[in-house]
Structure 1
Amino acid sequence: MKDYHISKHHSFYTIGLNYKKADAVVRGKFSLDDNAISALLAQAKDQDIDGLLATSTCNRTELHGFAQHPFQLIKLLCDNTTGTVEEFQEVAYVYKNNEAIGHLFRVGTGLDSQILGDFEIISQLKQSFNRSKKMGIANPFIERLTNSVIQASKRIKNETEISSGATSVAFASVQYILRNVPDITSKNILLFGTGKIGRNTCENLIKHTKKNQITLINRTKDKAERIAGKFDLVVKDYGDLQTEIRTSDVLVVATGAQSPTICKEMVYTKKPLLILDLSIPKNVSDDVSELENVTVIHLDHLSQMTDETLARRKQFVPKAESIIETVKADFIQWLETRKFAPVIKALKSKLKTMKDEEMDYQSKKRADFDAQQADIISDRIIQKITKQFANHLKGDHVDADSSLALIQKVFQLEIDTQ
């Protein structure tokens, strides 16, 4: 696919970084919040980019879009984050055209997730698309591709058991707590922040502990109260954080701030304290782990926890991959059709001009010429000829580019690429 005929720019790229090569610190430098994504898309529009998706989660940041050169997208990312081009290049990947399409399918269907079969990403992909569409930077290719990935994700969810069994970072957090904190039912748990993973961890913890053991603190108290109300938990003021840490046995941090919210000076404890940092960038300062009695575990450690659930999920990967191949093949066929549609349209127009000239000639030459009948027959022949060409171009073993060039040459077609 040398040219998509679907964007002003010829190539579709994915540029990004994820948990495989970039640790939490580096991922934090390149993470994009909503405002940064809006600014990035606006900047891309100014650069005449007509199709772009930006996704940023705790495990990855990626841009998928059309550009003259991938560096255009890399620069957009670096302009809107605190990371540098040099830092990006150390951990990055760049995919082009078919590889970029294949990568987005794997990401969107949970095959590339830090925890296999984690479908959180699909809702983020939908959000990314809606944002791009709203800002007028989602061309037909981006729209069709996103819908195809969503379709593949739905089919994998329904037709395989790749997401069966509770496994997620939240599940791993609870497993870690249960394995490492003896007699959990008599311990105090403090949840600081209302990030999604933190809320899910809290929900999972309630099943294994008593509700009155869990205290929730958030910078904005009303948000904490809304969430606490759902689970019937105790809420304390942000000003009580230091006091609450003293009496806690487990501290779960899920604030989603851009810099650490828990520093060494805030933590004072005479008994063992387990701190789980479920945030990207890290929300617990590195030096906190130097404190006596304190163990700090970050999201990345939890994600590496494998259990029987994950082992069981792996057996469904081939089935998931075959579903992806089917949906992807439909997308590629649509793409190829889009690619040669202008040529078929121009061919139809050329044949129609020939027909009109011949009809005009015959009607002048023959007094008994049946224009209506001739018109019907000619149109049917034109339809059959163009269909033959279209079927040829759709063939699996056809060099579409050479065929398109030949058709243009033979019929001396002028192509409208818009």
Structure 2
Amino acid sequence: MRDYHISKHNSFYAVGLSYKKADAEVRGKFSLDVPAIDHILGKAKEIGIDGLLAISTCNRTELYGFAQHPYQLIKLLCDETHGTVEEFQEVAYVYKNHDAISHMFKVGTGLDSQILGDFEIISQIKQGFYRAKKHDMANPFLERLCNSVIQASKRIKNETELSSGATSVAFASVKYILDNVTDISKKNILLFGTGKIGRNTCENLVKHSNNSHITLINRTREKAEDIAGKFQLNVKDYGDLQTEIRKADILVVATGAQLPTVSKALIYPKKPLLVLDLSVPKNVSDDVKELDNVTLVHLDQLSQITDETLAKRKEYVPKAEAIIEKVKKDFLKWLETRKFAPVINALKDKLNTMKTEEIDFQTKKIEGFDQMQAEIISDRIIQKITKQFANHLKSNEVDTDDSLELIQKVFQLELHSK
């Protein structure tokens, strides 16, 4: 495989950490909320980084961008989070150029998800790209790459059953409840936090538990009311959290807070309480485990639930990989074409200058010279010559860099674009 140089001085890197080597506590230290992502993009622009995308989910935090050295990106991440460079390096991965491109395809299509085929990540990539564009940090390379990953993701969803069956963190949490709690329809369930995982959990709970004793609490009451309205559920104020926890048999915490929001002091363990923490960073203090009658289960434990659905999904991985290869090949072809576009454009300019000079000369020299016909013929010849050069550069048999250098030398071209 040929090495794709993105530019002479900078390489394209993916730096990050995920559930594979970093537990929830470590991931929590490096998680980024929207203001933090905006701050990183602003700082990256200040130090002259051309193109940067940041994504942060409960399973991973990653930066994709151009740098002379990956440490520039690692430092941006560590300066904005609670983790140190040393902690990051213990669990991190760094991919460069072609490997970084391949990694984004794998992540964006659910092949690298904690639960295989969980496509939640693609909306994070879209959101990350939107933020990069807002800060003028989405160059044409990143735009084309993100669109290609989105295209591969759509095709895998439509052409395979990689995401068939209800398997996601939200479903895994409900499955855990159904498997471990008897008489679920009679239990009081409290859902604290109505982000994406919270909403999905709520929907799955209503669908599978046949339970009308579900209460929602969110810092912003309107958000909870929106969801509750769909399913005819109860909504309580954030100030009622402690009272409602004491009434609950099951507490599901899915907030996006950066620090724990449920502490030992909030819980009055006179009866059994099952607590599911679906947040990263953790939103339930570890010391809650010390309480009698309380069972605390975190997202990472839930994600290990494997059933027939997942076994079935694995069968579709080869087909998904074949789709990725096809879409990736098209992207790399575009990238290679983009690499020699400035030279082809400069060659076209040079030939057009020659044409203009020659037509001017012949108009003065030959009486009745048909300038319009000469223009038509010359333009067609220039088009054919540049097409020949472009086809030559696209060929797998040639060394593109050597050929580009030779064309520039022969025609004494001046390149104006990157």
Q: TM-score range by the shorter chain?
A: over 0.9
Q: Deviations over 1:19-52 (max 9, x none)?
A: 1111111111111111111111111111122311
Match runs of 1:228-239 below 5 Å: 228-239=228-239
Aligned residue in 2 for 1:374: 374
The answer on whether the counterparts of 1:392 and 1:398 sit within 8 Å (CA) in structure 2 is yes
Aligned-partner Cα distance in 2 for 1:238–1:403: 67
Q: CA deviation at 1:380?
A: 1.8
The answer on whether the counterparts of 2:13 and 2:97 sit within 8 Å (CA) in structure 1 is yes
Where 1:208 maps in the other structure, the secondary structure is helix
Which of 196-205 and 21-30 deviates more?
196-205
Aligned-partner Cα distance in 2 for 1:189–1:318: 40
Match runs of 1:138-149 below 5 Å: 138-149=138-149
Aligned residue in 1 for 2:345: 345
Aligned-partner Cα distance in 2 for 1:352–1:225: 66
Aligned residue in 2 for 1:110: 110
Aligned-partner Cα distance in 2 for 1:288–1:26: 19
Aligned-partner Cα distance in 1 for 2:134–2:221: 32
Where 2:95 maps in the other structure, the secondary structure is strand
Aligned-partner Cα distance in 2 for 1:158–1:144: 21
The answer on whether the counterparts of 1:41 and 1:137 sit within 8 Å (CA) in structure 2 is yes
Q: CA deviation at 1:104?
A: 0.8
Aligned-partner Cα distance in 1 for 2:15–2:82: 17
Aligned-partner Cα distance in 2 for 1:254–1:309: 24
Match runs of 1:20-59 below 5 Å: 20-59=20-59
Where 2:48 maps in the other structure, the secondary structure is coil
Aligned residue in 2 for 1:4: 6
Q: CA deviation at 1:176?
A: 0.5
Structure 1 pair 373–237 and aligned structure 2 pair: CA distance change class (3 A): closer
The answer on whether the counterparts of 2:37 and 2:54 sit within 8 Å (CA) in structure 1 is yes
Query: How many residue pairs get matched?
Result: 416
Aligned residue in 1 for 2:129: 129
Aligned residue in 2 for 1:18: 18
Q: Deviations over 1:354-405 (max 9, x none)?
A: 3344444444554464444333323222211111110011112322111111
Aligned residue in 2 for 1:408: 408
The answer on whether the counterparts of 2:275 and 2:297 sit within 8 Å (CA) in structure 1 is yes
The answer on whether the counterparts of 2:4 and 2:98 sit within 8 Å (CA) in structure 1 is no
Aligned-partner Cα distance in 1 for 2:341–2:218: 55
Aligned-partner Cα distance in 2 for 1:243–1:360: 90
Aligned-partner Cα distance in 2 for 1:227–1:201: 11
Q: Deviations over 1:269-306 (max 9, x none)?
A: 23322110000100111111122221111001111111
The answer on whether the counterparts of 1:245 and 1:269 sit within 8 Å (CA) in structure 2 is no
Which stretches in structure 1 are left out of the alignment for 5+ residues?
A: none
Aligned-partner Cα distance in 1 for 2:366–2:228: 89
The answer on whether the counterparts of 1:15 and 1:64 sit within 8 Å (CA) in structure 2 is yes
Aligned residue in 1 for 2:223: 223
Aligned-partner Cα distance in 2 for 1:232–1:365: 89
The answer on whether the counterparts of 1:191 and 1:253 sit within 8 Å (CA) in structure 2 is yes
Q: CA deviation at 1:239?
A: 3.5
Amino acid at match of 2:270: K
Aligned-partner Cα distance in 1 for 2:410–2:21: 52
Where 2:208 maps in the other structure, the secondary structure is coil
The answer on whether the counterparts of 2:178 and 2:209 sit within 8 Å (CA) in structure 1 is no
Structure 1 pair 235–357 and aligned structure 2 pair: CA distance change class (3 A): closer
Aligned-partner Cα distance in 2 for 1:22–1:110: 18
Q: State TM-score, norm by structure 2.
A: 0.94
**Percent of aligned pairs with the same amino acid:** 75
Aligned-partner Cα distance in 2 for 1:224–1:80: 30
Aligned-partner Cα distance in 2 for 1:51–1:393: 26
Q: Deviations over 1:65-108 (max 9, x none)?
A: 11121111111111111111111111111111111111111111
Aligned residue in 2 for 1:286: 286
Where 1:15 maps in the other structure, the secondary structure is strand
Q: CA RMSD in A?
A: 1.8
Aligned-partner Cα distance in 1 for 2:265–2:149: 47
Q: CA deviation at 1:205?
A: 1.2
Amino acid at match of 2:79: D
Match runs of 1:141-290 below 5 Å: 141-290=141-290
The answer on whether the counterparts of 2:350 and 2:413 sit within 8 Å (CA) in structure 1 is yes
Aligned-partner Cα distance in 2 for 1:163–1:23: 25
The answer on whether the counterparts of 1:211 and 1:233 sit within 8 Å (CA) in structure 2 is no
Structure 1 pair 213–69 and aligned structure 2 pair: CA distance change class (3 A): same
The answer on whether the counterparts of 1:247 and 1:269 sit within 8 Å (CA) in structure 2 is no
Aligned residue in 1 for 2:87: 87
Amino acid at match of 2:189: I
Which stretches in structure 2 are left out of the alignment for 5+ residues?
A: none
Aligned residue in 2 for 1:312: 312
Amino acid at match of 1:52: L
The answer on whether the counterparts of 1:211 and 1:232 sit within 8 Å (CA) in structure 2 is no
Aligned-partner Cα distance in 2 for 1:358–1:242: 87
Amino acid at match of 2:6: Y
Q: CA deviation at 1:172?
A: 0.5
